[in-house]
Amino acid sequence: MSSDSRTDVLVVGAGPTGLVAALQLSQAGLAVEVIDEEWRPAGHSYALALHPRSLALLDRLGLAAEAVRVGRRLEAVDVYEGARLEATLRPEGPEGFRFLLALPQSALEDLLARRLADRGIRVRWNHRLAGLEEGGDGVVAKVHRLEKESTGYAVAHTEWVIDKELVLRAAFVVGADGHRSLVRRALGTPFEEVARSQVFAVVECGGAAGDKMRLVLDEATVSALWPLPDGRSRWSFELDAPEVSAEDRFKSRLTTRMGERHFPHLDEARARELVRRRAPWFEKDMGELGWSAEVRFERRLASSFGRGRVWLAGDAAHLTGPAGMQSMNAGLDEASDLASRLRGVLRGGESAATLESYGGERRAAWEFQLGRRGGLRPDGRTPPFVAANAARLLPCLPATGEDLAALAGHLGLAVDRG
Ligand SMILES: Cc1cc2nc3c(=O)[nH]c(=O)nc-3n(C[C@H](O)[C@H](O)[C@H](O)COP(=O)(O)OP(=O)(O)OC[C@H]3O[C@@H](n4cnc5c(N)ncnc54)[C@H](O)[C@@H]3O)c2cc1C
C-alpha cells in the first residue's frame, strides 16, 4: 500500500469474516486490501466449530478438504434435559456437508490467510483504520501504520506508536472489524443490547467425547460440550445469577489468558463441580483440566448493516452467546453474501439496491436469532421438554438460517420469523 492508493474493496479486520470476504472478492477478480490493527494473526481459538453451511462455503473457496483434514467431524448433536438424553439430531445443510467440524478459529484464520497470500494478497498487520469519509464515487480511509517503540531507561517498556498515516481510497468498505468496530462507529450506527448478556464458564478438559456435540438444558441454564480436534473437549457452562457471586469473582485477581486477552479464572474445584451437577455422565471422562475462565457474552445487534459504500459483517454487526457457534458462522455467510453482491455491483452491472437488500435481510435474520422477532414454535406433537425450552434452544443450536429451521424441525419446533 503506498501512502495514497486506490482499490475496489477495503476490508477492515482480518478475523474469519474479513478473511472470507477478502478471499472471495479476490477470487472474483476484484482488487482488495485487508488491514488489521493487530501485529499478527490471532493466536486464539475462541469459536471452534464450523456449521455445514460454512463447510460448503469453504468448499467453494477450495479449502474444505484441508479444513476437514485438520478438524474433527461431529456427526450429531445430543440434547439432554439434565442427565437424561432427550434427542439426537443430525446436522442439516448442503449435500455432502451434513456434519459439524470442530476446528479452532486460529486454524481457520490460518487456512484463509495462507490462501489469500497464495493469491498475492497479504494482510497489512499493524494497520489501524482511523477514520472514514464517503465521497461520490468511493470512500477515503485514513489508516495508521503502527510500530513498536521501546522507551524507558531503568525499566524497558514497549508500546505501539503511529509510524505513518496513509490514505486509502476504495470503491467500497467491508467493516469486519469485530465487536468494537470503528467502521460501525464511523457510520454512527448504534449497537443495541437486544437480549440480556450471559456469563459462561469455559473449561478445556480431557474427554473421550466421541463424534457428537452435546447440549444440556436444566431449569435455568444451558451447557454445551464441543469435542476438539486434539482429542480434548471444551465445555461452556452458562452461569445463572447465584453461581456467579460478585464476591467470588473479585476475591481472586487470577486471570486466564486467552489469546491477547485476560478473563477471570475459574478454579478447578468449581469447574469439576459444574460437570458433576450438569453432566454427571461426563465426570469419568473429564481427565486433566486445561485452562478455564469466566467470559461475559453480550447480545447486541447493529441498528443497520451499513449504507451506501460501507457495509458490516460478522461481530461488527452482531454478538451472541457461544454455545451454537452462531455469530462466527453467520459472519462467514454474511461475508460471502456481501462479497457476491459487491462483485455484482462492481462488475456485473447490478444496482446498489442489492446491498440495501443485504442489510435488510441480515438484520431481520438476527432479529429472529436474538429473539426480537418471531421464534421457535411448538405444536401439539412437540415433546413437553422441547416446548418448554424453545426460546432457550434458539441461540444454542449449531445452525442459522434455513439450516436452523431444519434442525429445529427435528425437535418438533417450527420457525416463525415474525
Ligand atoms: C473469549 C472469547 C471466547 C469466544 N468463544 C466463542 C465460542 O465458544 N463460540 C463462538 O461462536 N464464538 C466465540 N467467540 C466469538 C468469536 O470469536 C467471534 O464470533 C468471531 O471472532 C467473529 O469474527 P469476526 O471476524 O467477525 O471478528 P473478529 O474475530 O473480532 O475480528 C475482527 C478483527 O478486526 C481487527 N480490528 C478491529 N478494529 C480495527 C481497526 N480499527 N482497524 C483495523 N483492524 C481492526 C481486530 O484486530 C480483529 O483481528 C468468543 C470470543 C471471545 C472473545
Kindly report the backbone phi and psi dihedral angles of residue 53, in degrees, each rounded to the nearest multiple of 5, phi listed first.
-60, -35
Angle at CA of residue 272, ends 270 and 276, nearest 5°:
115
Residue pair 157/151 in contact by the 8 Å Cβ criterion:
yes
Name the residue type at position 36: D
Residue 3: Cβ within 10 Å count: 11
First to last CA, the chain: 46
Question: Can you state the percent helix, strand and coil of the chain, rounding each to 5?
Answer: 30, 35, 35
The ligand 1 atom nearest the CA atom of 183: 41
Tell me the Cα Rg of the chain.
22
- The residue nearest atom 11 of ligand 1, judged by CA position, is 325
Kindly report the backbone phi and psi dihedral angles of residue 277, in degrees, each rounded to the nearest multiple of 5, phi listed first.
-80, -40
Name the β-bridge partners of 222.
217
DSSP state of 240: P
Q: In the structure grid, which three cell numbers stand for residue 301, read together?
A: 445487534
DSSP state of 265: B
pLDDT per position in the chain (418 positions), as tens? 555 679 999 999 999 999 999 999 999 999 999 999 998 776 666 899 999 999 999 999 999 999 999 999 999 999 999 999 999 999 988 999 999 999 999 999 999 999 999 999 999 999 999 999 998 789 999 999 998 766 555 555 667 788 899 999 999 999 999 999 999 999 999 999 999 999 999 999 997 668 999 999 998 899 999 999 999 999 999 998 645 444 455 444 567 776 667 777 788 888 899 999 999 999 988 899 988 889 999 999 999 999 999 999 999 999 999 999 999 999 999 999 999 999 999 999 999 999 999 999 999 999 999 999 999 999 888 999 999 999 999 999 999 999 999 999 999 999 999 8
At a CB cut-off of 8 Å and minimum separation 6, what does 122 contact? 116
Residue labelled with grid coordinates 475459574: 266
Measured CA to CA, the distance from residue 169 to residue 14 in angstroms comes to 19
Residue 12: Cβ within 10 Å count: 31
What per-residue confidence (pLDDT) applies to 147?
86
Measured CA to CA, the distance from residue 321 to residue 171 in angstroms comes to 34
How many Cα neighbours within 13 Å face the side chain of 242? 2
Measured CA to CA, the distance from residue 284 to residue 188 in angstroms comes to 51
Angle at CA of residue 261, ends 47 and 33, nearest 5°:
65
What per-residue confidence (pLDDT) applies to 245?
46
Q: In the structure grid, which three cell numbers stand for residue 401, read together?
A: 438460517
What per-residue confidence (pLDDT) applies to 285?
87
Cα of 378 from ligand 1 centre, angstroms:
34
The ligand 1 atom nearest the CA atom of 36: 44
- The residue nearest atom 50 of ligand 1, judged by CA position, is 46
Residue pair 217/322 in contact by the 8 Å Cβ criterion:
no
Measured CA to CA, the distance from residue 56 to residue 345 in angstroms comes to 24
Of 10, 4, 32, 39, nearest in space to 166 by CA: 4
Measured CA to CA, the distance from residue 145 to residue 164 in angstroms comes to 5
What per-residue confidence (pLDDT) applies to 246?
45
DSSP state of 153: S
Cα of 31 from ligand 1 centre, angstroms:
24
pTM: 0.94
Residues within a 6 A CB radius of ligand 1: 12-18, 35-38, 46-47, 105, 128-129, 176-178, 182, 236, 258, 295, 314-315, 322, 325, 327-328, 331
The ligand 1 atom nearest the CA atom of 42: 49
Cα of 39 from ligand 1 centre, angstroms:
15
Q: State CA 75 to chain mean position distance.
A: 21
- The number of residues in the chain equals 418
Measured CA to CA, the distance from residue 141 to residue 52 in angstroms comes to 35
Residue pLDDT, tens place only, 330-366: 999 999 999 999 999 999 999 999 999 999 999 999 9
Name the residue type at position 239: L
At a CB cut-off of 8 Å and minimum separation 6, what does 308 contact? 134, 352
